[in-house]
Amino acid sequence: MLKGIHPAISPNLLKILAEMGHGDELVLSDAHFPAHQLHQKVLRADGLGVDTLLTAISPLFEFDAYVDAPLIMMQAVEGDSLDPNVEARYLQAIKSSVGSVPNLTRIDRFAFYDRAKQAYAVVVTGETAKYGNIIIKKGVTPVS
């Protein structure tokens, strides 16, 4: 175990985060997401909610400041509805970790799947909330 690293971050996830470059995207998916069908690089985080991973990742991850929205979620399919508490939980997890929240946008289901195919990796969580998937886009880490 490392000091200062949230215990929800596995060694494999830490490696993925370190390997990612600016502009790379990471999918944090719910338990129902077809990750293995869409992507070759899939990590498992069973038992963890997406909000827990966002709390853990956010202090280590610079969100892309050169795009309008470095957070992407799935729109509800026509005739379906979103639970606003899901998005609120995710944004609160980021805010509690880093003090602010980058912009978020929503895209349709199949556009989300296409984007997931191009992501650096997919992390399948134990999240059971409907439309509980989010893509986070990595930015340039500032030099201090």
pLDDT tens digit string along 112-130? 999 999 999 999 999 999 9
Write out the two tokens for 32.
Answer: 């129902």
79 is in an annotated binding site: no
**Closest of 106, 123, 116, 122 to residue 49, by C-alpha:** 123
pLDDT band with cut points at 50, 70 and 90 for residue 11: very high
CB 88 within 8 A of CB 131: no
**Does the annotation mark 22 as catalytic?**
yes
Percent of the chain scoring above 90 in pLDDT: 94
80 is in an annotated binding site: no
Residue 143 in this model has a pLDDT that exceeds 90: no
- Catalytic hit among 22, 32, 36, 39: 22
115 is in an annotated binding site: no
Please give the model's pTM, rounded to 2 decimal places.
0.96
- The residue type of 8 is A
106 is in an annotated binding site: no
* Cα separation, 63 vs 103, whole angstroms: 10
Residue 1 in this model has a pLDDT that exceeds 80: no
Length of the chain: 144
Structural domains of the chain, ranges and CATH numbers in brackets: 11-138 (3.40.1650.10)
What pLDDT score does 141 carry? 84
**DSSP codes joined into one string, 42-95:** EEEETT--HHHHHHHHGGG-PBPTTSS-SEEEEPPPTT----HHHHHHHHHHHH
